[in-house]
């Protein structure tokens, strides 16, 4: 073998070894850089990828703002070499302390976006739902300025009254989701919950699932105390069976435009579709969006003999079977009222007259003792 051949082989081997060493050194350098923790503000941070943003633009932005402590060219190269892992997803991503550049890129490709949430409490009206949705900057507003009927046309059917059609709960959403999409989800939840409860009802007093929804909305407004809910439902069911008027303040209040919190005798005597002091049976629509417990209560009311109840002032109610017992309870739990006013709160009803005469209304409130409640006309069987 010639010396030239030997030298060439040595040079080739040296070159290969040098290349291998360089590759290993580069790999070690890249590994070390890609595993350096992100630089974040105190606590967690949010990084948003706008729809249509390119991979190069995202990697450059992350390196430029100093979040990813990796040279921009290296981060871009790594992203290109790992394109088989998938494309970047748009949305908001939570950058957690201790996360490194490699993990961040994996997160952006996985599409595990930040889940925001919005909560609608039981008993809220549809107008309150719309107001809360409108206050959320991360929700895309598509129903602003629309009448309720127009919103319902987009949700389901313009002929459906929106009150009571949406299930109270906490809903998760991502930034950019529309208010309409959230309403549609809540509407489907209510339809499913109501239908299931109707199929498993234990009482046949109510003629339809919609009637159950109406009464559930009244029960929802009458109490927030769970142990009383079934008994209150039982009172209203008993009154419906007996042909008595429901005589409950929340329905009257619902029918008053721009109610100021002061329910008067005049309100109780004013004709209207929602005045259950004057009208027999249920009002034409729900008066709020009731929760599951209220729906279950009216379809499975407690078997009680009560026809009346009065708020005790501590969140509980006192129940009575006879009118005489009820009026005694009113005098016990409510101070002597001031002439001309009806005691009212968003979840209670008025009953006893200012002069102390007997009342046939179903409920009575101690929520506002400086105002008198008004009695309904007629006897206890009306």
Provide the mean pLDDT of the chain. Answer: 84
Q: What is the pLDDT of residue 349?
A: 40
Write the pLDDT tens digit of every residue in 217-260.
999 999 989 999 999 999 999 999 999 999 999 999 999 998 99
Rounded distance between C-alpha atoms, residue 274 and residue 195, angstroms: 25
Q: What is the pLDDT of residue 326?
A: 94
The dihedrals phi and psi of 46, each to the nearest 5 degrees, come to -115, 130
HEC string of 229-266 equals: HHHHHHHHHHHHHHCCCCCCHHHHHHCCCCCCCCCEHH
Q: Could you tell me which residue, 196 or 315, shows the higher pLDDT?
A: 196
Q: What is the pLDDT of residue 8?
A: 65
Maximum pairwise Cα distance, the chain: 129
Please list the residues that pair with 341 across neighbouring strands: 264
Rounded distance between C-alpha atoms, residue 158 and residue 150, angstroms: 6
CATH topology of domain 40-114: Dna Ligase; domain 1 (3.30.1490)
Q: What is the pLDDT of residue 346?
A: 30
Q: Beta 317-320 vs 116-119: how paired, if at all?
A: unpaired
- Name which of 29-33, 92-96, 134-138, 197-201 the model is least confident about: 29-33
Q: Could you tell me which residue, 8 or 98, shows the higher pLDDT?
A: 98
Q: What is the pLDDT of residue 33?
A: 76
Q: What is the pLDDT of residue 129?
A: 98
| pLDDT higher than 90, residue 19 | no
Which one-letter DSSP state was computed for residue 135?
A: T
Write the pLDDT tens digit of every residue in 288-302.
999 999 999 999 999
Which one-letter DSSP state was computed for residue 129?
A: H
Quick one: average pLDDT of 133-142? 97
pTM: 0.81
Residue 103: which pLDDT band, with cuts at 50, 70 and 90? very high
Counting every residue written for the chain, the total comes to 382
Measured CA distances, 324 to 234, 307, 361, 380 (Å): 19, 11, 12, 10
Write the pLDDT tens digit of every residue in 325-343.
999 999 998 755 444 444 4
| pLDDT higher than 50, residue 376 | no
Residue 347: which pLDDT band, with cuts at 50, 70 and 90? very low
Q: Where are the alpha helices (DSSP H) in the chain?
A: 3-34, 55-64, 72-81, 101-110, 126-134, 148-155, 179-199, 209-222, 226-242, 249-254, 265-269, 292-299, 323-333
Residue span(s) of the chain under CATH 3.30.1490.480 come to: 40-114
């Amino acid at each position: 073998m010639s010396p030239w051949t030997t030298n060439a082989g040595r040079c080739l081997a040296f070159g290969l070894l040098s290349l291998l060493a360089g590759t290993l050194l580069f790999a070690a350098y890249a590994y070390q850089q890609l595993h350096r923790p992100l630089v974040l503000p105190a606590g967690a941070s949010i990084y948003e990828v706008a729809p249509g943003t390119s991979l190069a633009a995202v990697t450059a932005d992350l390196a430029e703002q100093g979040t990813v402590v990796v040279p921009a060219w290296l981060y871009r190269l790594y992203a290109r070499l790992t394109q088989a892992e998938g494309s970047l997803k748009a949305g908001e991503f939570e950058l957690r302390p201790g996360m490194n550049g490699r993990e961040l890129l994996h997160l952006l490709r996985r599409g595990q976006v930040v889940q925001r949430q919005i909560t609608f409490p039981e008993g809220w009206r549809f107008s309150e739902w719309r107001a809360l949705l409108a206050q959320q900057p991360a929700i895309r507003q598509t129903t602003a300025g629309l009448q309720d009927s127009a919103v319902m046309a987009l949700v389901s059917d313009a002929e459906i009254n929106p009150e009571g059609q949406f299930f109270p709960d906490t809903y998760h959403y991502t930034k950019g989701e529309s208010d309409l999409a959230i309403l549609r989800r809540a509407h489907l939840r209510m339809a499913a919950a109501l239908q299931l409860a109707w199929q498993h009802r234990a009482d046949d007093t109510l003629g339809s699932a919609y009637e159950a929804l109406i009464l559930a909305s009244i029960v929802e407004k009458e109490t927030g105390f769970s142990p009383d809910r079934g008994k209150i439902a039982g009172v209203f069911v008993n009154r419906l069976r007996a042909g008595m008027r429901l005589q409950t303040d929340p329905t009257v209040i619902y029918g008053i435009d721009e109610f100021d919190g002061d329910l008067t005798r005049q309100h109780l005597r004013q004709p209207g579709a929602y005045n259950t002091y004057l009208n027999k049976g249920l009002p034409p629509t729900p008066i709020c969006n009731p929760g599951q417990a209220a729906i279950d209560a009216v379809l499975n009311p407690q078997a009680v003999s009560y026809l009346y109840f009065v708020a005790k002032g501590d969140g509980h109610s006192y129940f009575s079977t006879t009118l005489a017992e009820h009026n005694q309870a009113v005098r016990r739990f409510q101070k002597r009222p001031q002439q001309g006013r009806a005691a009212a709160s968003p979840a209670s009803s008025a009953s006893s007259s200012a002069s102390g005469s007997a009342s046939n209304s179903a409920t009575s409130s101690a929520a506002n003792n400086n105002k008198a409640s008004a009695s309904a006309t007629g006897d206890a069987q009306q």
